[in-house]
């Protein structure tokens, strides 16, 4: 299936690892020209190690603006933006009072203002050209009020809401904006949640990463298995393509049936 994105310049934030790297690799496979934005360069053995890389802090508006200008100067107009960069609080937040108020600030700075910075730069640029697609990585945690990490959950709910606001504003300019919500993907963020949870348990109740993961998957995922970064990337790339030209303002889950809407 031709996705109609051959030669399209694409920015992938958080593109050096995890879902961002899987998305960048698939964009390249489909003929696009992805540029990685991340705080850290990809590992030498990564599938995206040879892709163009910019060290970018999305929480810094001036840094984002400079990186955008540099990317467009080198590779041409950005037609696809995929925003995967995000952080968690590092606390297991059940109850929410386990998370100190001070821990909220950085999560909101990166996850909400980072998205805002990109929106204020990419939106007007794509609007002027009357073309473009933005996909923002959210989470099922933003839909169900997951108590695991309240700052992260709240920021991902904000991602969904703001993406819908942007979709309405930019639709007359033929710019599409969507959100994708992964379920359970084995990423460093998930491991950090497990470590934070385990640290609070009595010694006789602590679980290994493998046991904790198996129990959680069995309890919350109807398909009974982890989602892979490549599963999420497939949806992101489809939404970024010409095949999804009539899809905007949507929140699509890739979660093994964890959250079902009707």
Is 216 a residue whose pLDDT tops 90? no
* C-alpha–C-alpha distance, residues 84 and 82, integer Å: 6
Helix (H, G, I), strand (E, B) or coil at 168: helix
Structure tokens at 58: 């999305």
Domains of the chain are 9-184+227-254 (3.40.50.720)
Q: pTM, whole model, 2 decimals?
A: 0.94
End-to-end CA distance of the chain: 29
Mean pLDDT, rounded, of the chain:
94
* Residues 115 and 83 sit within 8 Å (Cβ to Cβ): yes
pLDDT tens-digit series, residues 217-235:
888 899 999 999 999 999 9
Mean pLDDT across 7-25: 97
Please give the backbone phi and psi of residue 151, each rounded to the nearest 5 degrees, phi first: -60, -40
Q: Which residues pair with 253 in a beta bridge?
A: 181
Residue 226 vs residue 165, higher pLDDT? 165
Hey, which residues are catalytic here? 152
Cis? peptide before 233, omega within 30° of 0: no
* C-alpha–C-alpha distance, residues 154 and 108, integer Å: 9
* Residues 42 and 49 sit within 8 Å (Cβ to Cβ): yes
Mean pLDDT across 228-245: 98
Percent of the chain scoring above 90 in pLDDT: 78
pLDDT tens-digit series, residues 122-133:
999 999 999 999
Query: Number of C-alpha atoms within 13 angstroms, CB side, residue 145?
Result: 2
Mean pLDDT across 13-18: 96
Q: What per-residue confidence (pLDDT) applies to 201?
A: 83
Phi-psi label, residue 84: left if phi above 0, alpha if psi -120 to 50, beta otherwise: alpha
Q: What per-residue confidence (pLDDT) applies to 94?
A: 80
**Cβ–Cβ contacts within 10 Å for residue 161, how many?**
14
């Amino acid at each position: 299936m031709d996705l109609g994105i051959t030669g399209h310049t694409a920015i992938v934030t958080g593109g050096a690892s995890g879902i961002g790297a899987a998305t960048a690799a698939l964009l390249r496979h489909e003929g696009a020209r992805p540029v990685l934005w991340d705080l850290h360069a990809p590992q030498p053995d990564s599938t995206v190690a040879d892709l163009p890389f910019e060290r970018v802090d999305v929480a810094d508006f001036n840094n984002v603006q400079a990186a955008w200008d540099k990317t467009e100067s080198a590779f041409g107009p950005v037609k696809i933006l995929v925003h995967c960069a995000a952080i968690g609080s590092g606390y297991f937040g059940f109850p929410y009072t386990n998370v100190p108020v001070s821990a909220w600030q950085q999560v909101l700075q990166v996850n909400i203002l980072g998205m805002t910075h990109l929106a204020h730069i990419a939106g007007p640029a794509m609007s002027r050209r009357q073309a473009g697609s933005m996909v923002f990585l959210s989470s099922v945690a933003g839909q169900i009020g997951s108590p695991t990490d309240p700052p992260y959950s709240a920021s991902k709910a904000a991602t969904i809401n703001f993406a819908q606001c942007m979709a309405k504003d930019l639709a007359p300019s033929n710019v599409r904006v969507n959100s994708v919500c992964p379920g359970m993907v084995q990423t460093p963020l998930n491991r950090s949640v497990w470590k934070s949870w385990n640290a609070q348990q009595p010694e006789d109740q602590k679980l290994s990463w493998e046991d904790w993961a198996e129990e959680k998957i069995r309890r919350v995922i109807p398909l009974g298995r982890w989602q892979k970064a490549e599963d999420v990337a497939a949806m992101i790339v489809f939404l970024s393509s010409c095949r999804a030209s009539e899809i905007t303002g949507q929140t699509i889950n890739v979660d093994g049936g964890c959250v079902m809407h009707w």
